[in-house]
Amino acid sequence: MGREAGLVVPAADGSPLITEHYFPRTRGDFPTLLVRSPYGRGLPWAPMYGLLFAEQGFHVVLQSCRGTGGSGGAFDLWRNEAADGLATVAWLRGRPWFDGTLGTVGPSYLGYVQWALAADPPPELKAMVVQVGLHDPYALFHADGVPRLENALAVGVGMTYQHQGLVPSVRAALRLRRRLRTATTALPLRGAYASALGTEPPWLADVLAHPDAEDPYWRGASSAGAAERLRVPTALITGWHDTLADQTFEQYGRLRRAGCPASLLVGPWTHTSALQQGWPEVFAESLAWLRAHLCADPSGLRPTPVRVHLGGANAWRDLADWPPARTTASWYPLPDGRLTRQTPTDSTPVTAFRYDPADPTPSLGGPLLSGTAGARDNSVLEARDDVLTFTGPPLTEPLDVLGPVAARLSVSTDTGHAHVFTRLCDVDAQGRSVNVCDGLSSLRTTGGTAAQVTVPMGTTAHRFAVGHRIRWQISGGAHPRFARNPGTGEPPLDATALTPTHITLHTDSTLCLPHGSRPALLPAPPPHDRPAHGR
C-alpha cells in the first residue's frame, strides 16, 4: 500500500483542500473511493478507510473539508459540500491513476457530503455507501421545534476539535461531560454552553437559534431530494439506537420509490458502536457493495435488499423490503397502570402528573451521539413521580414489532405549554424494563381542553419473548437529550423563569405497534458472511 500526503485540491472558491491518496502497490487499474471529512485525516479515518480499503484494491482519496484539518476557507455546516465535492471530482479527472470509476463511503457527516455530491452526481459516480449517515441537519438538531440539546453539544465538540487530533478531542469531550449539567440547566440557556465547549462555534449558535424547520435559514440544508431522483446504487447502514436511524429509513424509502438499487443493513448499534463493535459487519457490507458496483464482482452480495437485527431474539433477519407488510395494533392505557388491547369507551382522564422544569425528567439511553446511548434498564427512571408507565400482561407467545412505532396522545395541561416524551420498553420476567424506541413532541393546550398529538417513536425490529410484557412510558421530557420546556411559553433557549406543569393523559390515547408475523431467524453469521444486496 502506498500513500501520497499533503496533496492540495482547489475547492469551488479556490481554497486549498488538503488531501491524501492511498493506493495499492500492485500494478493495474483500480477504482477510486472519495472520503471527505471535517474530522481530520488521522485516527480513525486513515486506518479504517485509507489503509484498509487501499489494501482491498481501491485508490482512496481522503480529504479534509473546507476550514478543517488544515484545509483553507471557513467551515460551514452544509453550504459548501456539494460544490467542493464536484471540484474534487474535477481534480480527479486530471490524475493519471484515475480510471473514471468513482465510489464514495463514510459515516455521519461523511454521509452528508455523499448526499451533497449526489444532488448533481458526476457521471463517474457509480456507487455510494452511507454509514449511519446524515442528510437533514435540521432533524439532527431539533425534534418538533425542540432543541436536541445533548446532540448539539456533542456535534459542537466533534466539529471543533476532532480535526485537531486525538488529544484535543478527548480533552474537549471530558470537559463537556464534566460541565454538561451546568451548561444545560442555565437560565437563559442560549450561549451558556460555551464554557462546556471551550468556545462557541458560530454555526452552533445559528442552528440552535432557528428551531422552525420552515425558517429560510434551513433552505438548502436538507439533501433529501437527492435520493428522490438518484440512480447511483446506494448501500445504507444504521443501528437501532443510531441518532440518525430515522434519516436512514427516510433515505431508503426515497431510493426504493425512485427505483434506485439500494440495500439496508440495521444492526444492534448506536451511532458510534456501529464503527466499533459493529465494524466487522459494516466493513463487510461496504466492501461487498463497492466491489459489486465498482469492480463488477457481485459474488459477495446477499440475496435480499434488507438485513435487520431482531432485538430480543439476538438474531438477523433477511427481508425483501422495509418496512415489511404489517398490521398495526392499538394498545390503550388504563387508570390502574395496565396496558390493554380493549378499546376505551370514553375520553375521561387516565391519570395526571406534575412536570417540574427545575427538576426535569432525566434522559436515559436511546439514540444519542454520546457513549450513554443505547438500551438501558429504565427501573430508576420509571420510579419517578413524573413518569407514567402502562404495562401489558405477560405474553403467552412471542410478539414481533416490525416497523415504525407511534403514539396518538390526548393530553391537557394547566399552563398550556408542555412536551410529551413517550417510550416503548420490554419488561422481562425479572421486571427489568429496557427501552426499545421513543420520541418527543411539543404541544399547546387552551382552557384545559385536551389536545391531540401524534408522536413518532422511531422504527424498530424487536421480539417480545414469552413471559415478557410491553410497557408504555410517558413523561414531560428527557433532559438534557432535549431542552426542557420552561412551562412559560418562552422558547427553551431564552427562558429566564420556570413554571411546573400538570399534564393529564386521557383514555383515548393510543400506542400504535406494527405487529409482524414471527420471522424465520438467521443465526448471526461470521463477519465475512455479512455482505450487502445489489439488485
pLDDT in 10s for each residue of the chain, 535 residues: 899 999 999 999 999 999 999 999 888 899 999 999 999 999 899 999 999 999 999 999 999 999 999 999 999 889 999 999 999 999 999 999 999 999 999 999 999 999 999 999 999 999 999 999 999 999 999 999 999 999 999 999 988 888 888 888 889 889 989 999 999 999 999 988 888 998 888 889 899 999 999 999 999 999 999 999 999 999 999 999 999 999 999 999 999 999 999 999 999 999 999 999 999 999 999 999 999 999 999 999 999 999 999 999 999 999 999 999 778 999 999 999 999 998 887 767 789 999 999 999 999 999 999 888 999 999 999 999 999 999 999 999 999 999 999 999 999 999 999 999 999 999 999 999 999 999 999 998 877 788 999 999 999 999 999 999 999 999 999 999 999 999 999 999 999 999 999 999 998 899 999 986 444 444 444 333 333 333 2
Tell me phi and psi for residue 384, to 5 degrees: -75, 150
Cis peptide before 480 (omega within 30 of 0): yes
Could you identify the residue written with the cell 431474539? 313
CA angle 316, 271, 453 (to 5 degrees): 90
Q: Delimit the CATH 3.40.50.1820 region(s) of the chain.
A: 2-136+222-301
Give the three-state DSSP class for 443: strand
**Could you give the C-alpha distances from 68 to 8, 73, 160, 234, 450, in angstroms and in order?**
13, 8, 9, 27, 49
pLDDT value of residue 528 = 33
Beta strand pairing call for 469-475 and 501-506: unpaired
pLDDT value of residue 519 = 41
Among the listed residues 90, 108, 86, 106, the one whose alpha carbon sits nearest the alpha carbon of residue 98 = 90
Could you identify the residue written with the cell 429560510? 216
- Helix (H) / strand (E) containing 463: strand 451-464
2-136+222-301 CATH fold: Rossmann fold (3.40.50)
pLDDT value of residue 349 = 77
pLDDT value of residue 327 = 87
For residues 311 and 300, the answer to whether their CB atoms sit within 8 Å is no
Q: How far apart are CA 151 and CA 134, in angstroms?
A: 13
Among the listed residues 56, 132, 61, the one whose alpha carbon sits nearest the alpha carbon of residue 300 = 56
Could you say which DSSP state residue 390 is in?
Answer: E
Q: How far apart are CA 168 and CA 158, in angstroms?
A: 10
pLDDT value of residue 347 = 64
Count how many Cα atoms sit within 13 Å of the Cα of residue 32 in the half-sphere of its side chain. Answer: 22
Among the listed residues 378, 410, 237, the one whose alpha carbon sits nearest the alpha carbon of residue 309 = 237
For residues 519 and 311, the answer to whether their CB atoms sit within 8 Å is no
Q: How far apart are CA 268 and CA 95, in angstroms?
A: 41
Could you say which DSSP state residue 485 is in?
Answer: P
CATH code of the domain occupying 327-516: 2.60.120.260
Q: Delimit the CATH 2.60.120.260 region(s) of the chain.
A: 327-516
Tell me phi and psi for residue 443, to 5 degrees: -150, 155
Sheet containing 32-37: give its strands across.
2-10, 16-23, 59-64, 32-37, 102-108, 125-133, 234-241, 262-270, 306-310, 315-319
Overall residue count recorded for the chain in this entry? 535
- Helix (H) / strand (E) containing 206: helix 202-208
Give the three-state DSSP class for 117: helix
pLDDT value of residue 343 = 87
Q: How far apart are CA 159 and CA 198, in angstroms?
A: 13
